[in-house]
Amino acid sequence: MGRRRTTQSRKLSPEEFQKFLELIDSLELEDITVMKMSFELLSPLEEGTVAIKIGERAGSPQRKGESLEVPQAFAITVEQKEEEKLRFRVEYLLTFSVAREETVSQALEHEGVTRFFLEQQVPKLVWPFLREDFHFACSKLGLRPITLKLRK
């Protein structure tokens, strides 16, 4: 679940950017549902710093009646002294209501617009929930809180 971010995928032409703006203007986030969550402490954490690795994977947008559903998954590993200590996996389902069907369909036909939406917009929407869920998992495992950085 590695991040697939490249300079190319973050850039849109002016026409594509306009389509992207029309897309997000035509969608309203209705719900973010946790579809699966798992976490496992592989060995106790020691005092000191940890390395956090985050992988993410966006699924394909799917139409469900008057809604658009977008799956988004994250995999987090916490390492210390080059040893994996904690695994956390979560899959979310974002549900958007669609205000203008034709606008959304046309925007999603553009590969660059769809990729930008899935790689930039969707993770930003989910990020606060991921931070909270990861913090909760650490707490349930009896660990000191590990707070994920804000996403910019």
DSSP string, 20-65: HHHHHHTEEEEEEEEEEEEEEE-SPPPSS--EEEEEEEE---EEET
pLDDT, mean of residues 10-15: 86
Q: Please tell me the CATH code under which domain 13-140 is placed.
A: 3.10.420.10
Q: What is the mean pLDDT of the chain?
A: 91
Longest distance between any two alpha carbons in the chain, whole Å: 55
Measured CA to CA, the distance from residue 57 to residue 109 in angstroms comes to: 20
Q: Where are the domains of the chain?
A: 13-140
Greater model confidence, 6 or 59: 59
End-to-end, the C-alpha distance of the chain in Å comes to 20
Q: What integer pLDDT is reported at residue 34 of this predicted model?
A: 98
Q: What integer pLDDT is reported at residue 2 of this predicted model?
A: 43
Q: Does residue 21 carry a pLDDT above 90?
A: yes
Q: Give SS3 for 84.
A: strand
pLDDT, mean of residues 98-109: 94
Residue with tokens 């850039």: 11
Torsion of CA 56, 4, 79, 151, to 10 degrees: -70
Q: What integer pLDDT is reported at residue 10 of this predicted model?
A: 64
Could you report the per-residue pLDDT of 22-68, keeping only the tens digit for each?
Answer: 999 999 999 999 999 999 999 999 888 899 999 999 999 999 989 99
75 phi, psi to nearest 5 deg: -130, 125
pLDDT, mean of residues 100-115: 94
Q: What integer pLDDT is reported at residue 67 of this predicted model?
A: 96
